[in-house]
Amino acid sequence: MHKFSQGNLRVDFHTHYIPKHFPDMARKYSNEGWPTLIHSTSCQADIYFAGKHYRQMQNEEIAQAVAASPEHFIGLGTVPLQDPDSAANEVRRAVKKLGLAGIEIGTNIQGRNLDDPSLEAFWQACEEVEAAIFVHPASVFAPERTSKYRMVLSVGYLSETGIAAVSIVMSGLLERRPRLRFCFAHGGGTFPWLLPRLDRTWQVFEDVKSIAAAKPSEVAKQLTYDTLTYDPANLRLLIKRLGVDRLLMGTDYPFPLREEPAGAVIDALADLSDQARADMLGHNALRFLGRPPS
Ligand SMILES: [Zn+2]
């Protein structure tokens, strides 16, 4: 395994990757079973295999890209969470066989939250292979109310991520499975801001408290978050509530709302210690991904 070196290291934890083209095997071999890419925009495409999404090939492509340049890339795979047993098998394969550091999942599974009991076998597999889990919104609730002003991206994504983090924290999942490692995209969305109200809800309502023994704001410190907040004041709040050790730099490259240059919001905090800056810019990401700096 390649060792990333220390120094002025910047690791962009939150970069999207998809191969631009797959070989046109159907034309070459006259077999309709090969995957194809259907492009929807210049930077978005869906992978289909015999008319269905085909994730395994994507994971293999990512593994190949990492293998070609291990000093530059660490890969996360994808899994079909609507079929938790297949997802469990695929996360085992992605980590153990393909050498990926973990997987990226959405904030809901066809409208069900991440505390859904059907996911138990999947969480068990993630724990077993020590997969890093990146939670990133894709489909959002109430799409009919967020169709204007790009609200899916500005409001929908952050609210979805808040619901996902609350579902993990208040379901007691981390008490049952403390080795699970989650990172939430876009600074955790609404979640860090909600923490005082979540604590109050947990204190006041016995039905909530009876499910998870620990205070939400304490459990929140077991999770990790990227720093894609754009604003130093927001990042300061994350540091105060969650701690420097829970934060890692991510840009959302190549999408329009990405941070440029990478790490700009961390650079904008002038009073950080050198250690805190280096940790958030690179070292925390490597530790979270199970590839600690040498
Ligand atoms: Zn993203």
267 in a domain, yes or no?
A: yes
- Residue 18 CA to ligand 1 centre (angstroms): 12
pLDDT at position 5 over 60: no
Q: Compute the distance from residue 14 Cα to the ligand 1 centre, in Å.
A: 6
Evaluate whether residue 225 is within a structural domain.
Answer: yes
Structure tokens at 209: 């408290």
In this structure, what CATH number is given to the domain that contains residue 133? Answer: 3.20.20.140
Terminal CA-CA length for the chain: 12
Answer whether residue 64 is part of any domain.
Answer: yes
pLDDT one-digit tens code per residue, 143-178? 999 999 999 999 999 999 999 999 999 999 999 999
Q: Give the distance (Å) from ligand 1 centre to CA of residue 109.
A: 17
Instruction: Identify whether 294 is part of a domain.
Output: no
Task: Give 95-124 pLDDT, tens digit per residue.
Answer: 999 999 999 999 999 999 999 999 999 999
pLDDT at 56: 74
- For residue 237, the model assigns a pLDDT of 98
21 falls within a domain? yes
What is residue 36's three-state secondary structure? Answer: strand
What is the 173 CA–ligand 1 centroid distance (Å)?
25
Ligand 1 geometric centre to CA of 116 (Å): 23
Domain encompassing residue 169 = 3-288
**1 pLDDT tier (thresholds 50, 70, 90):** very low
Number of H helices, E strands in the chain: 14, 9
Least confident of 2-16, 36-50, 96-110: 36-50
Is 12 among the domain residues? yes
Looking at the domain assignment, is residue 293 inside a domain?
no
Give 16 Cα–ligand 1 centroid separation in angstroms: 6
* pLDDT of 218 higher than 50: yes
Q: Ligand 1 centre from 234 Cα, in Å? A: 18
What DSSP designation does 34 have?
A: S
Q: Is residue 88 part of a domain?
A: yes
Ligand 1 center from residue 211 Cα (angstroms):
31
Overall domain count for the chain: 1
Those residues whose beta carbon sits under 5 angstroms from the ion ligand 1 are 252
